[in-house]
């Protein structure tokens, strides 16, 4: 128990008329929340910087035109029986402009993430996801739209979910590199480059995703001659009849 100003005692004095008079805070004890209410910096509130008795309440508000995640514009913190203020998830103290419309329906065959959300705000995003075993020609399995205060953008009219090769293209062996960037959609092509030459084919070779399989399914051999510098011992150079040999 404590006085409202957080002292635990009061003072009385006997005056000339032999009457005890209170010289300190009023003799009234009450349970309090010792800590100040957890009001995030920058938020509007009606706390008087003093009230903290059991049952006292503080209203915290968003700036005009903005809303909390549950679409309210204010929330109430109360001093509770255990001596603490109402517990609020810090993530709740986020004031945003509400979206005026919900997201559009996903394209046929695609699914929408967060489409069951109760509220949307400026900055809210929704993913349109391809069916299983499909992806775009860029190797993506979803496209994202975001609300930017005027509408949901960008809705990509060219994004398509295509059938894919279920496996990866042939792995590049030593001395071979590829430009594979992740797309396994039908029609995707991968070019391999040999540091020397593919036997009978030149320095490059390509495979393509054709109706669910990579074709060709294997790479030709990358072959070539590695030339190493020759070093000759001076003694051996003389035996070989060599002159001016650098060692």
Q: In CATH, what class is 164-247?
A: mainly beta
Percentage above 70 pLDDT, the chain: 83
Ranked by mean pLDDT, which of 179-188, 223-232, 236-245 comes out on top? 179-188
Mean pLDDT over 139-148 rounds to: 91
Answer yes or no: same fold for 35-96 and 164-247: yes
Q: What is the pLDDT of residue 228?
A: 52
Instruction: Indicate the pLDDT class of residue 239, thresholds 50, 70 and 90.
Output: very low
**Nearest 10 degrees: Cα torsion 141, 145, 146, 149:** 180
Q: In CATH, what class is 35-96?
A: mainly beta
Mean pLDDT over 122-145 rounds to: 90
Instruction: Indicate the pLDDT class of residue 229, thresholds 50, 70 and 90.
Output: low
Per DSSP, what are the bridge partners of residue 45?
60
Q: Measure Cα distances from 101 to 72, 83, 153, 156, 216 in Å.
A: 17, 42, 12, 19, 49
pLDDT for residue 245 is more than 50:
no
Mean pLDDT over 181-186 rounds to: 89
Domain boundaries, the chain: 1-30, 35-96, 111-163, 164-247
Instruction: Indicate the pLDDT class of residue 242, thresholds 50, 70 and 90.
Output: very low
Picking from 68, 72, 71, the residue whose alpha carbon sits closest to that of residue 90 is: 68
On the question of a cis peptide bond just before residue 216, with omega within 30 degrees of 0, the verdict is yes
pLDDT for residue 61 is more than 50:
yes
Instruction: Indicate the pLDDT class of residue 209, thresholds 50, 70 and 90.
Output: very high
More confident residue, 3 or 59: 59
Q: Where does the chain have alpha helices with state H?
A: 234-239
Task: Give me the half-sphere count of Cα atoms (radius 13 Å) on the Cβ side of residue 97.
Answer: 10
What is the rounded CA–CA span in Å between residue 84 and residue 30? 14
Instruction: Indicate the pLDDT class of residue 2, thresholds 50, 70 and 90.
Output: very low
Mean pLDDT, the chain, whole residue set: 85
Q: Measure Cα distances from 143 to 136, 203, 230 in Å.
A: 9, 36, 58
pLDDT for residue 234 is more than 60:
no
Mean pLDDT over 155-167 rounds to: 86
Q: What is the pLDDT of residue 27?
A: 62
pLDDT for residue 227 is more than 70:
no
Least confident of 106-120, 151-165, 178-192, 207-221: 106-120
């Amino acid at each position: 128990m404590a006085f409202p100003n957080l002292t635990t005692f009061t003072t009385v004095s006997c005056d000339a008329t032999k009457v005890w008079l209170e010289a300190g805070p009023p003799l009234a004890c009450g349970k309090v929340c010792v800590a100040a209410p957890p009001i995030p910096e920058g938020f509007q509130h009606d706390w008087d910087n003093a009230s903290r008795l059991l049952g006292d309440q503080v209203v915290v508000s968003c700036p005009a035109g903005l809303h909390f995640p549950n679409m309210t514009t204010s929330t109430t913190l109360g001093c509770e029986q255990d001596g603490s203020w109402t517990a609020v998830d810090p993530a709740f103290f986020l004031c945003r402009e509400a979206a005026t419309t919900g997201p559009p329906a996903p394209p046929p065959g695609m699914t929408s993430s967060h489409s069951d959300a109760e509220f949307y705000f400026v900055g809210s995003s929704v993913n349109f996801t391809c069916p299983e075993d499909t992806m775009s020609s860029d190797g993506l399995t979803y496209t994202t739209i975001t609300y930017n205060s005027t509408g949901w953008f960008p809705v990509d009219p060219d994004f398509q979910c295509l059938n894919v090769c279920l496996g990866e293209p042939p792995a590049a062996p030593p001395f071979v590199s590829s430009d594979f960037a992740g797309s396994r959609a039908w029609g995707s092509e991968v070019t391999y480059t040999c540091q020397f030459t593919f036997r009978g084919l030149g320095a490059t070779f390509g495979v393509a995703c054709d109706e669910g399989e990579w074709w060709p399914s294997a790479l030709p051999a990358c072959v070539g001659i590695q030339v190493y510098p020759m070093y000759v011992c001076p003694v051996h150079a003389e035996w070989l009849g060599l002159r001016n040999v650098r060692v």
